[in-house]
Amino acid sequence: MTPDIDTLVRWPLDVENWPRTVLVGALLVATLPLVVPGVLLAGYAVRVLRAGAGDDSLPGFTNLRALTETGVRTASIVVAYHLPAAALVVVGTRGAASASMLLRWETLVRFGPSAAGRLPGLAALAGSVGIGLLGAALLPLCGYVSTVAVTAYADTDEVTDAFAIGRLRRRVCSVATLRAWLLASLAVLGSGVGAFLVAAATAPVPGVGSVVTAAVRFYGLVVGLAVWNRARPTATGDEENVTGVEGGEKAEAPSAST
């Protein structure tokens, strides 16, 4: 189904204490290089998915112990699905660095400026760069699959469902699921553009720009989750959705403990 974007954009504001929630989220986004903020944001993302975005009010950052436990599980799922692509990027990067050193050594010490003498180093460099590029190209695919997997976990509160390859394959191969993910990605990308513009506008004000920019990014993340939650097909309609037929209204998410 096609979500009502205007309604979903206003949805996070349909609660009295939304400024506090957005401020906490902005502080977490601003400190994302640290592990703990990332875990808390991962747990909060699952809370948003379970809230039935657009139907219920925006959840808050309450019960930090439960939020952390959910975040650890969610982050583990995301990391597991990104490991193959990340490993290729690391191998390619390290291989390219080693090949560059080999190429320099062959040029300066063994073969001088001879083109033939540089062939082994050039071949190693090309192979390493190819591996790294392959890993980088797979990262969006890993992001898509991990989004589906995290949603499966959010729906049932069972981590094993995030690795149920049979059911996940049907959802991943669904045209409707891909369409929902692309719509959500566009929402997040739009918030990134907005955050860049806000950062440029608030640059003269020290300290304010970073917080406001982080708030825009957090708000965009919530809206992106709301779009995904409303546009994605129902779990019970997976068989239909493989053929590209979109499911009906999404059933209310189970009220699993967060």
Scan for tokens 């809206």, then name that residue.
223
Q: Which residues touch 112 (CB under 8 Å, ≥6 apart)?
A: none
Which portions of the chain are predicted below pLDDT 70?
A: 1-4, 52-56, 102-121, 207, 234-258
| Structural domain boundaries in the chain | 5-241
Q: Phi first, then psi: give them for residue 257, nearest 5 degrees.
A: -70, 130
Specify the pLDDT at position 232. Answer: 86
Report the amino acid identity of residue 239: E
Q: Phi first, then psi: give them for residue 122, nearest 5 degrees.
A: -65, -40
Nearest CA to 217 out of 22, 44, 64, 43 is that of 22
Specify the pLDDT at position 205. Answer: 72
- Is 88:129 a contact under the CB 8 Å cutoff? no
Specify the pLDDT at position 244. Answer: 39
What span, in angstroms and rounded, lies between the C-alpha atoms of 234 and 241? 9
Q: Give the pair of three-digit tokens for residue 207.
A: 């300290």
Q: Give the pair of three-digit tokens for residue 111.
A: 């073969």
Report the amino acid identity of residue 30: A
Length of the chain (residues): 258
Alpha carbon of 160 to those of 34, 76, 151, 157, 232: distances in Å? 27, 12, 12, 9, 21
Report the amino acid identity of residue 175: V
What span, in angstroms and rounded, lies between the C-alpha atoms of 96 and 117? 18
What span, in angstroms and rounded, lies between the C-alpha atoms of 95 and 124? 8
What span, in angstroms and rounded, lies between the C-alpha atoms of 105 and 162? 48
- Is 22:51 a contact under the CB 8 Å cutoff? no
Q: What is the DSSP letter of 106?
A: I
Report the amino acid identity of residue 206: P
Specify the pLDDT at position 70. Answer: 94
